[in-house]
A and B are shown apart, each in its own frame.
Chain A
Amino acid sequence: MNFELSKEQLMIKKMVKDFAENVIQPRAIEIDKEAKFPIDIFDQLGELGILGIPFPEEYGGSGGDTLSYALAVEEIGSVCGSTGLSYAAAVSLGASPIYYFGTEKQKKAFLTPLAQGKALGSFGLTEPNAGSDAGGTKTTAKLEGDEYIINGEKCFITNASFAKTLIVTAVTGKNEKGKNIISAIIVPTDTKGVKITSNYDKMGVRGSDTAEIVLDQVRVPKENLLGDPEKGFKQFLYTLDGGRISIAALGVGIAQASLEKALNYAKERKQFGQSISNFQSIQFKLADMAMEVELSRNMVHKAAWLKDNDKPFSKEAAYAKLFASETASRAANQAIQIHGGYGYMREYEVERYLRDAKLLEIGEGTSEIQRLVIARQLGC
């Protein structure tokens, strides 16, 4: 057993922390308030190789591991949930499926620019009537000659307005039992018939781009099919398992930030002639927050370690995502409480943490879905 991070992991953590504090933190309030996707920050993340952490150098990546990537998500998430979410989605959902399931040619063509940070990718799974129930997917892809013709509608897709490539799930046929076969197909966003609009007015992670995609007679070459045509469903379950680690890391970041803000405020704020951190009611809140942050982080690190060591990690990723996202909401809520009236004000940032944290209990599988995933792993 060894709980120590490697030198590279420590250096990556420190570098991302410095970048997050110096470049992202000063703009976090504005990013939220104006709900504007900070594309220039993503250019810089790309230049520093942060968008390519878990991919090998041959595909333009940095050759890091899942744990390093999780550390980076935590650090970015601790200063800005919007940037953290878009970062996590770009890597885990936009780029990773191509790395996991793509052919050599697809990796060279589509993964390289994403790993180098020269472009962003999106993952289009959710539809108006299909989210966690991926079987309800209505989008279709019909093979005609050498091309797939795709028709359908996707919603709540992170980063799509700024993406160069989309991976969309679509029904490509029926199996012998008459059930839909769902496949994943790579669609460049400049393909004719792809319409992306982002009109959502969100509660939190407001600076993260969220878009709607309409696919109308979209033609892509049949070699854009990603991975095994019969196993599209399994593939995106694996992708989501990986994504959950990063959402959990984002939760740890928000929870850690909530704890730090609350602790600093409690030490400074004086009432009845003393710091409110002397009061047990405040101390108990802080103690619970600190404990839950550490437990969440340990679970994230364990899930990442399992993935890096090619061991099964679905259950642990679900534990991490469920616990860390709920920890983030609780910690942010308590941070507001400790701040009192000030905490309700945008300037003090903790109110934003709560709005951002709420998304983590919903996106990439709700907390309820995480419990189902865990229960299934238990054999229910």
Chain B
Amino acid sequence: MNIYVLLKKTFDTEEKINVSHGQIEDDGAEFIINPYDEYAVEEAINQRDEHGGEVTVVTIGDEDSEKQLRTALAMGADKAVLINTEDDLESGDQYTTAKILEAFFEDKEADLILAGNVAIDEASGQVGPRLAEALGIPYVTTITSLKIDGEVVNIEKDVEGDVEIIETSLPVLVTCQQGLNEPRYPSLPGIMKAKKKPLEELEIDDLDLDEDDVEPKTKTIDIFLPPEKEAGRVLEGELNEQVVELVSLLKNESKVL
């Protein structure tokens, strides 16, 4: 089985993030594999171990994305592809990403493509579905179980806490949700072997694409951090006065009543 994983490098949202001039500052930010993509990598490895074949991890990014790809290789993926857009593209959106991936998959015979449900940075959840549409293959998002038997694919999908059971066929694209599996730690021998595994680097030129072909359809106007949480207020006085004050505050100040 030819298994592909779409992987994105994101900044670690648990670390401190600085924004200046509507841009997230790269300096000092910690970069990680998008956590939902880790489920995709883990699932890809498990499916390969069960059904045979090869796992290829694909990312669109810059030179530094190699680190995340190597981590996926250390977890057990077989090959990695870095589509480096650092020199060619100034900006991009989901359209750009899907368009580049479409060109990449044009000559590939993928049986199974896995992606994260969303990336924790921009959380659009669009790239997977857009790519599947472009390739003309079925897709199922937010999956929590994947069973493949021949060409038949049985999937459990998370629908706001309930489970939807879906049957489809290969080739298929799925996006992975928490609960699908428990991503492994890359083992030490895995890390040491990862540097010997093939990592191919492409530019959009290699995919016969121009900057114009992948021009974003959206424009980011501003990026800002949520307002800092303000200190709470302790009401004082007699109990019934406090209740009256609370109701009035809820009504007039925070307007929730």
A12/B185 in contact, CB under 8 A: no
The interface residues of chain A lying within 8 Å CB-to-CB of B185 are 15, 18-19, 48
The interface residues of chain A lying within 8 Å CB-to-CB of B190 are 49
Point out the residue from A11, A18, A53 that lies within 8 Å of B70, measured CB to CB: A11
Contact A49:B67 (CB < 8 A) given known A8-B195, A11-B74: no
A57/B71 in contact, CB under 8 A: no
The interface residues of chain B lying within 8 Å CB-to-CB of A63 are 189, 192
The interface residues of chain A lying within 8 Å CB-to-CB of B159 are none
For the complex, count residues of B whose C-beta is within 8 A of A.
Answer: 15
The interface residues of chain A lying within 8 Å CB-to-CB of B188 are 12, 15, 48-50, 52-53, 62, 64
Most buried by A among B71, B188, B194: B188
The interface residues of chain B lying within 8 Å CB-to-CB of A62 are 187-189, 191-192
A11 CA to B189 CA in the complex, in Å?
12
> In chain B between 172 and 197, which residues have their CB closer than 8 angstroms to a CB of chain A?
185-192, 194-195
The total of interchain contacts (Cβ-Cβ below 8 angstroms) comes to: 50
> In chain B between 33 and 83, which residues have their CB closer than 8 angstroms to a CB of chain A?
66-67, 70-71, 74
> In chain A between 15 and 55, which residues have their CB closer than 8 angstroms to a CB of chain B?
15, 18-19, 47-50, 52-53
Q: Size range of the interface on A?
A: 10 to 19
Contact A11:B187 (CB < 8 A) given known A62-B192, A63-B192, A64-B192: no
- The residue on A at minimum CB distance from B73 is A11
Does A10 lie at the interface of the complex (its beta carbon under 8 Å from any beta carbon of B)?
A: yes
A57 CA to B188 CA in the complex, in Å?
11
Contact A57:B189 (CB < 8 A) given known A7-B195, A8-B195: yes
A7/B189 in contact, CB under 8 A: no
A47 CA to B184 CA in the complex, in Å?
11
A15 CA to B32 CA in the complex, in Å?
11
Contact with A along B71-106 (1 / 0, CB 8 A): 100100000000000000000000000000000000
- The residue on B at minimum CB distance from A22 is B185
A15/B189 in contact, CB under 8 A: no
The interface residues of chain B lying within 8 Å CB-to-CB of A11 are 67, 70-71, 74, 186, 191, 194
Contact A12:B191 (CB < 8 A) given known A7-B67, A7-B70: yes
B59 to chain A, nearest CB (A): 15
Most buried by A among B71, B191, B194, B195: B191
The 7 A-B residue pairs whose C-beta atoms are closest, nearest first, are: A49-B188, A62-B188, A63-B192, A49-B187, A49-B189, A11-B191, A48-B187
Beyond contacts A8-B195, A50-B188: 9 other A-B pairs, Cβ-Cβ < 8 A, are A11-B71, A11-B191, A15-B185, A19-B185, A49-B188, A49-B190, A52-B189, A57-B189, A64-B188
